[in-house]
Amino acid sequence: MPGANGRTTIIRGGTLIDGSGQSPVQNDAIVLDGDRIRSVGVLPPDVNAEDPESVRTIDASGKWIMPGLIDGHCHLSFGQPAMPGLNIARGTVSSEFSTIRAARNAQTVLRSGVTSVCVPGGTWFIDVAVREAINAGLIEGPRVYCAGRFIVTYGSIADNEPSWVGTPEHVNGKLCNNVTDMVTEVRRQCKHGVNFIKMADSTWGDIQTISREELTAVAEEAHRRNARITIHSRGADSTRAAAEAGFDWILHADLATESDLDAVAEAGVRIMPTLTFLEHAAEYGRDFGRSEREVDQMKYNLEGGARVLQRARELGLKVLSGTDSGNSPVMPYGELHANEPGIMVKYGGYTPLEAISACTRDNAFVVGLEDDVGVIEPGKLADMLLLTKDPVADISVLKGGRNLDLVIKAGKVVDRNGLRNAPDDPLRIVPDAC
């Protein structure tokens, strides 16, 4: 029996990695009705696989099926990475151009197998607009769950200009140096439709730039307005303080000590180490103008992040998967969104299945769809990938969409023609080594 929109799809055969953490199983039939999964396992008797009028069959034999990837940390509207003809490294100063470009970035992300993204901060309210345009079917892209500009104080990340310049609209941070300004900014951003609030402490975690009082006030205001809250926090003290202030998840946390992580675990807060950025920028950053000092700093934080990953696994802390793609010229779209699972295996001792669940089942939380995406089971949205190689045998199979056979979002096969990074693609700035 076809679904509400008259369309039933059957995925036959293949090996199913359902995202729940269970071992892969041989798939008989996954039935999709419209945008949702109707059944997984034996073909229901009322579905006539032989009727091409009402049923479309996708043959997955010899392939691997898994949930669509979720990148829990991807910036669509920073105006980054750099592109030919656009000699600006801090985002463009045109909201119109940045919006069109963000739409294009979203398309690139989806075509690499990422069916949902969490966007922790951008410029203007571009990400809200991109989300709405995707939901309305105007443009193609992943499901978007987004914040607005980061709420920052003097000395925080994204406060790069002298104080007399401040943080103009095209900057991804918004200076708020007292509780009143912060709460007002939360209200302004919620009015404009953000899904959550992002605060940001210091760039590398060497100083704490936001007080406990401020963290608590902003978390309370966000939650009062049904918005979640996260923070860029690399430092030990800021991580502990954010966990105790009721933040929903913490980005980075790489300098947290064991006792800080105990406090995070006690508070039941999730962390998203996002080591892909540190590893990738430490390796390729010099090619993009990063100084030796910065590269050394990244390596230092990467070592801390590796310890955090290992300790988090021991503690049973929920670890989410994000990459920071689009945060700077060194982080291209479409290439690194599935790099973090490999990082979890390499540095944290996670099994490939655990790492896959982090970027599917567990990441459903940071796109606000914990009941709807991340696992292939009846009732969930039909977001899934077909792969030509086994990601459990080799987690690097997921990287860069190189082994994708099909991307399905909401039951529809994504048209991947005009693939990213073709030689004439204006976004092709990816170093060959990526």
Is the peptide bond preceding residue 44 cis, with omega within 30 degrees of 0? no
Which H or E run includes 326?
A: none
For Zn ion, which is the closer residue by CB, 327 or 421?
A: 327
Among the listed ranges 215-223, 298-306, 327-335, 384-392, the one in contact with Zn ion (CB under 5 A) is 327-335
Tokens 């790069």 identify what position?
A: 160
CB of 25 closer than 8 Å to CB of 41: no
Q: Would you state the structure tokens that stand for residue 352, as one six-digit string?
A: 């490939």
Among the listed ranges 98-106, 110-118, 323-331, 416-424, the one in contact with Zn ion (CB under 5 A) is 323-331
For Zn ion, which is the closer residue by CB, 47 or 74?
A: 74
Among the listed ranges 14-22, 103-111, 326-334, 374-382, the one in contact with Zn ion (CB under 5 A) is 326-334
Residues facing 271 on adjacent strands? 250, 319
CB of 411 to Zn ion, least distance (A): 31
For Zn ion, which is the closer residue by CB, 276 or 327?
A: 327
Among the listed ranges 43-51, 104-112, 322-330, 407-415, the one in contact with Zn ion (CB under 5 A) is 322-330
Length of the chain: 434
For Zn ion, which is the closer residue by CB, 9 or 327?
A: 327
**Spatial separation of the C-alpha atoms in residues 145 and 298, rounded to whole Å:** 27
Judged by DSSP in three states, 31 sits in strand
Q: Would you state the structure tokens that stand for residue 20, as one six-digit string?
A: 């729940």
Main-chain dihedrals φ then ψ at residue 333, nearest 5 degrees: -80, 150
For Zn ion, which is the closer residue by CB, 77 or 115?
A: 77
CB of 74 to Zn ion, least distance (A): 8
Instruction: Verify binding: residue 340, Zn ion, rule CB under 5 A.
Output: no
Q: Out of 324, 340, 362, 383, name the contact with Zn ion by CB under 5 A.
A: 324
Of 178, 202, 176, 177, the closest CA to residue 189 belongs to 176
For Zn ion, which is the closer residue by CB, 277 or 350?
A: 277
For Zn ion, which is the closer residue by CB, 64 or 150?
A: 150
Instruction: Verify binding: residue 209, Zn ion, rule CB under 5 A.
Output: no
**Spatial separation of the C-alpha atoms in residues 74 and 215, rounded to whole Å:** 23
Which H or E run includes 365?
A: none
CB of 159 to Zn ion, least distance (A): 15
For Zn ion, which is the closer residue by CB, 24 or 235?
A: 235
Residues in contact with 342: Cβ distance below 8 Å, sequence separation at least 6, in sequence order: 355, 395, 396, 398, 399
**Spatial separation of the C-alpha atoms in residues 307 and 310, rounded to whole Å:** 5
Instruction: Verify binding: residue 9, Zn ion, rule CB under 5 A.
Output: no
5: which DSSP letter? T
First to last CA, the chain: 46
CB of 229 to Zn ion, least distance (A): 15
CB of 121 to Zn ion, least distance (A): 6
CB of 232 to Zn ion, least distance (A): 6
Q: Out of 8, 172, 203, 327, name the contact with Zn ion by CB under 5 A.
A: 327
Main-chain dihedrals φ then ψ at residue 100, nearest 5 degrees: -65, -40
Residues in contact with 137: Cβ distance below 8 Å, sequence separation at least 6, in sequence order: none
For Zn ion, which is the closer residue by CB, 64 or 125?
A: 125
Among the listed ranges 13-21, 182-190, 242-250, 321-329, the one in contact with Zn ion (CB under 5 A) is 321-329
Instruction: Verify binding: residue 335, Zn ion, rule CB under 5 A.
Output: no
Instruction: Verify binding: residue 201, Zn ion, rule CB under 5 A.
Output: no
Tell me, by CB under 5 A, how many residues bind Zn ion: 2
Instruction: Verify binding: residue 115, Zn ion, rule CB under 5 A.
Output: no
- Which parts of this chain interact with Zn ion (CB under 5 A)? 324, 327
